[in-house]
Amino acid sequence: MLSPEKGIGKWIEDRLPVFSIARHSLIDYPTPRNLNYWWNFGSLAGITLVIMIVTGIVLAMQYTPHVDMAFNSVERIMRDVNYGWLLRYLHMNGGTMFFIVVYIHIFRGLYYGSYKAPREILWWLGIVILLLMMATAFMGYVLPWGQMSFWGTTVITNMFSAVPLVGEDIVTWLWGGFTVGNATLNRFFSLHYLLPFVIVGVVLMHIWALHTVKSNNPLGIDMKGPQDSIPFHPYYTVKDNFGLGVFFFVYLTIVFFFPNFFGEPDNYIPANPMATPPHIVPEWYFLPFYAILRAVPDKLGGVIAMFASILILFVLPWLDRARVRSARFRPIYKQFFWLFLVDCFVLGWVGANPPEGMFVTIGQVATIYYFAHFLILLPLLGMFEKTRPLPESIAASVTSAAVTSSKG
Amino acid sequence: MATKAKAEKAATGEDGGSRRDFLILATSAVGATGAALAAWPLVDSMNPSADVLALSATEVDISPIEVGQAITIQWRGKPVFIRHRTADEIARAENTKLDELPDPQTDQDRVEKPQWLVLVGVCTHLGCIPLGQKVGEPRGDWGGWFCPCHGSHYDLSGRIRKGPAPKNLSVPPYTFLDDTMLRIG
């Protein structure tokens, strides 16, 4: 093994300190000793990103971004390319897994108050990653050039026509024509290839910020000394690897046995610009936002509400005034957290159904509650909630009678 | 000596050290094997796909080719020369002495039927297509083919005679399905 103390290892280390950086951030990095399994999802998201990039690069070697050939080139990948079916299903369902993992990661942050000082920039970078992921996933969904690809793109890009005065011009510019067409497909392919690497860049900043402020933990209190922390390796490398095994079990079960569970059958019909499918739905991970879009009975208003539902996360650290981070010590917030989670599932359910009858009302109520959670409940909780006493330290909570106060 | 052996025993002995080493090694080995197996589909996807392999045999009707004529057809994306040789050309190819050849091979070894010469039309130097198929093209000093890229001369059996190419033009696998149909591949 190369050693930074002698020989070639030292020669490299003196010129580019890769060994000390790797040691500092992957081995010695002091991690709170009390992290639970909800803290596995950050590294899982990183690994999923790598899987998406690797499978994506080999798929791009076989794919043809042209309106006349895109659909057939995907079918060729499925039938003729060696393991093409596997690569495509890994990539397709990898997108689903990526969003599952990242949504859990985000709700973990919401529950344990990981967005609060001094982690605001860490939180912002996470939201930027989410936005980039959404753009990447949306553009990737266009590439197979099926009916849902075409009409999903048409609907989503048309949202920009809600912009006053220049809306129509913006949409024409996005399309590179007067409808979604070959120019649109080409630029979406280009950006779908580019954005994952931008995500990698933001992820590196995310990790940099994390290693500067250190990980939050289920107690939401700071590490006060070496007795509160354990080195990242081997403790969390082993734990992350165990989680990775569980993750692969779920992921590969989907890939091998239910590869089209999350997809839409209509996307196996080649794109037809002359016929809209009767019921257009986005991919499942966009459904809550789609419900918010449709809840507002005004074109521009709906688009604003949809973007606001994500952008509001940027100001969350200042909307939530409570100084206690973890929901374990916030009995009222804890209940509203679960209500908020249920609300997001309701929005997703509404988004998957046609905007008729009771779904309209439910969608509007759920949308109002979504924003009320951030704009009304959180500021009020910060003022009136009586929090439970925090343990003295992370070490004390596991070694003394303080255990009882940290349950939950 | 005794203390050294004792120290070694402590490092690798029954205190749990060797157990941990074994676990790390075994886990790493399983992990590395898994990674290698997972990498295989990625690598194999870059090999020729089923639709490409389906093009690996080409059938051609050789009945319209008159004596002295040559045609070029495509097989696996590469040009294949089919020449209907004259009696004189056959005689010249067969009577060549082996010690004149950089890559010695008899004409009989390179043909199924002497009048039909079938070659992959790719120069063995750096992959250009030699001239000599069409009337009026230079055919080199030995009346076969001449590669314009770096000046390799091939004879009437497609054997290299002069120039930088190291080997004779290769003979693709082919069979005569009947008197008029030739199957290449």
Number of domains, chain B: 2
Q: Which residues contact A229 (CB under 8 A, 6 or more apart)?
A: A30, A31, A32, A33, A223, A394
CB contact under 8 A, A82 and B42: no
Shortest Cα–Cα distance, A144 to chain B (Å): 18
Which residues of chain A from 31 to 70 reach within 8 Å of chain B, CB to CB? 54-55, 58, 61-62
| CATH number of the domain located at residue range(s) A31-218+231-280 in this protein | 1.20.810.10
The per-residue pLDDT of chain B, averaged, comes to: 88
Do B31 and B11 lie in a common domain?
yes
Q: What's the pLDDT tens digit per position in A216-266?
A: 999 999 999 999 999 999 999 999 999 999 999 999 999 999 999 999 999
**pLDDT band, very low/low/confident/very high, at A406 (cuts 50, 70, 90):** very low
The verdict on a CB contact (< 8 Å) between B45 and A76 is no
Q: Do B63 and B115 lie in a common domain?
A: yes
Q: Which CATH superfamily is domain A283-395 in?
A: plastocyanin oxidoreductase (1.10.287.980)
Q: Is B150 one of the annotated active-site residues of the chain? A: yes
The pTM score is 0.87
B3 touching A (Cβ < 8 Å): no
Identified catalytic residue from B84, B125, B150, B153: B150
B99 and B72 share a domain?
yes
Q: What is the mean pLDDT of residues B138-165?
A: 93
Distance from C-alpha of A63 to C-alpha of A72, rounded to nearest angstrom = 9
**DSSP string across B116-143:** EEEEE-S-TTTSPPPB-SSTTS--TTTT
Give yes or no: residues B57 and B138 share one domain: yes
pLDDT of residue B1: 43
> Does residue B32 sit in the same domain as residue B99?
no
pLDDT digits (tens, 9 = 90+) for B7-58: 455 445 455 578 888 988 999 999 999 999 999 999 999 999 998 888 788 8
The pLDDT tens digits of the residues spanning A140-186 come to 999 999 999 999 999 999 999 999 999 999 999 999 999 999 999 99
Which CATH number characterizes residue B141's domain?
A: 2.102.10.10
Return the domain boundaries, chain A.
31-218+231-280, 283-395
Q: Are residues B121 and B159 in the same domain?
A: yes
Please give the residue range of the domain that contains residue B20.
2-45
How close, in Å, is residue A61 to chain B by CA atoms? Answer: 8
- How distant, in Å, are the alpha carbons of A74, A99, A290, A304, B159 from that of A131? 26, 11, 15, 15, 64
* Cβ of residue B64 closer than 8 Å to a chain A Cβ: no
The verdict on B135 and B179 lying in the same domain is yes
